[in-house]
Structure 1
Amino acid sequence: MARNTLTPDQIVRAAIQLLDDEGLDGLNMRSLGARLGTAATAVYWHIKTKDELVRLAGDAVWSEVELPDLDTRDWRPAAAAMAGSMHAMPTWHPWLGQVFGSHLLYGPGKSRHDDHSLALYEKAGFAPEDADRAAATVFVHVLGSVLGAAAQVSLTRRLSRSGDPEKALADTMAAATEVAMHFPRLRERLDGSAAAEYAAAPDLTFEFGLGTILDGFEARLTKEN
């Protein structure tokens, strides 16, 4: 593909696919050029640096988050839907967890999401400064809930390059369990039939946390009004 027929949008979409397949460590201009059927120099003609490409890709995926119609939905179901959609997005793109900790992200996709989130909590009845805090609280909860899954994908990829990832993870879990058995509440959970279930991520943790946050918002709004 010649550089004059290549577009920035094509490059960003291809970069997202490459990131989904290979993670942040697997993104480079040569691999991206090969995926696009062009030389790496053609990519540089449109996007100058890898960091800029990551920023553009990181912003583009925010368009996948549902922005519920605030004229037809009450604030709480709208907040739950928006948070649930935001929670799913890094699950589809686990590299995003790496990017949050290593790149400065901004752009129209993220700004559109943030503006809608503020509008949602203002509609709920929060003053503008409290709407900021409410939106940030939900964002931090969502981000914290997905980092574990994103880290697992990244770790498995890294371990796959140097050996047997399943064995490395099993050995680590065995060592961690041995340490945890010295602590009574952890020992109770690990020394029984529910040990395998406890070792995995607890079910419905995200939903439990989000419901608790929204309950608190609702109680605060009721008290203030």
Structure 2
Amino acid sequence: MSGTQRIPVERKRRRTTRTGSVLSEDLIVSAALELVEAPGGNALTVRRLGAELGCDPSTVYRYFADVDALLLAVADRLIGDSLDGFTADEDWIASLRDFAVRVHRSVLRHPRLAAVRASRVTGGPGECRAVDTGIGILLRGGFAPAESVRLYRTFIDTVLAHAALDAAVRDLSDQQRHQQSRVWHSAQDALPAESYPNLHTVREHLPEMAGSAFPDVLELLLAQFEASRRKSGADTGP
């Protein structure tokens, strides 16, 4: 998957909006994010973006090749923001846990961009910083370079997949979320043992199905990483 397409610097220099503001990539990305998250659904189009910025819509193409490139830039901004204030701990497991929770929380704050963040490679500074940080934690945990890359891919794909799922649930209507949370509560008394023997056995625990699996999956993944490290005889690193 390709990253954001780069526009030559000479096409970007000091273009102003009708309000007198100097147009920039950051300004366009901020406006695009607001339109994506506008009430009523994603309202991002180049025409609306031009109106929001107070400039001719065609000017946006001097900074981004197309709307897809702009969405990748927005996603990259959010990736970078998710790690603001993050500092790796000497405990590599604790560091990975904190990293994962920050990414998951960030995706939930911006559910309409969850699919982009989960499925695309931005190639921007935010993502490069995130990948560098995550692989660095694994290297310091004692994993070899190739294994660190493999485990990081497993780690981040798992985190983003669950974040995208939880974001989709969060983006449901109040009525849909209520209905979903009540399904297994209501099913407890409607599961005859002869038809659903296993569900009948665990019926009192079924309401727990309504919550997010992310915390449990994260702990299982980290435990597997630790088991792999012990099996390989890797030391704990610095």
Smaller-chain TM-score range? Answer: 0.7 to 0.9
**Partner residue in 2 for 1:58:** 75
Q: List per-residue Cα deviations over 1:26-66 (Å, max 9, x = no partner).
A: 21112222322333233233323111111111111111222
Distance in 1 (CA, whole Å) between partners of 2:177 and 2:139 is: 48
Alignment-mate amino acid for residue 132 of structure 1: V
Equivalent-residue separation in structure 1 for 2:142 and 2:118 (angstroms): 33
C-alpha RMSD of the superposition: 3.2
Secondary structure of the residue aligned to 2:104 is helix
Spell out the pairing of 1:17-96 with structure 2 (5 A cutoff). 17-21=34-38, 25-66=42-83, 68-70=86-88, 73-96=90-113
Q: Please report how far the alpha carbon of residue 97 of structure 1 lies from its aligned counterpart in structure 2 after TM superposition.
A: 2.1
Deviation at 1:25, TM superposition (A): 4.0
Query: In the alignment, is the contact (CA less than 8 A) between 1:87 and 1:143 conserved in 2?
Result: yes
Amino acid at match of 1:207: P
Contact kept, 8 Å, 1:62 with 1:109, in 2: the verdict is yes
* Residue type at the aligned position of 2:35: L
The aligned residue for residue 175 of structure 2 is 166
Give the gaps of 5 or more residues in structure 1.
157-164
TM-score (structure 2 length as normaliser): 0.72
Distance 1:63 1:103, change over 3 A: closer
User: Per-residue CA shift, 1:95-148, capped at 9, x if unaligned?
Assistant: 222224775532121111101111110100001111112212211221121122
Q: Which amino acid aligns with 1:56?
A: A
Q: What corresponds to 2:210 in structure 1? A: 200
Aligned residues: 207
Task: State the SS of the aligned residue for 1:21.
Answer: coil
Percent of aligned pairs with the same amino acid: 27
Is 1:210 the counterpart of 2:218 in the alignment? yes
TM-score for both structures, normalised by structure 1: 0.75
Contact 1:24-1:98 within 8 A present in 2 as well: no
Contact 1:15 1:27 in 2 (8 A): yes
1:12 equivalent to 2:29? Answer: yes
User: 2:230 aligns to what?
Assistant: 222
Alpha carbons of structure 1 residues 211 and 169: separation in structure 2 relative to 1, 3 Å = closer
- Is there any run of 5+ residues in structure 2 with no aligned partner, and where? 1-16, 234-238
Distance 1:217 1:28 in 2: 43
Amino acid at match of 2:210: A
Q: Indicate the residue corresponding to 1:106 in structure 2.
A: 123
Matched-pair contact (CA < 8 Å) for 2:118–2:160: no
Moved more, 47-56 or 17-26: 17-26
- Write the distance in 1 (CA, Å) between the matches of 2:232 and 2:167: 38
Q: SS at 2:65's partner residue? A: coil
Report the CA distance between 1:199 and its aligned residue: 5.6
| 2:157 equivalent in structure 1 | 140
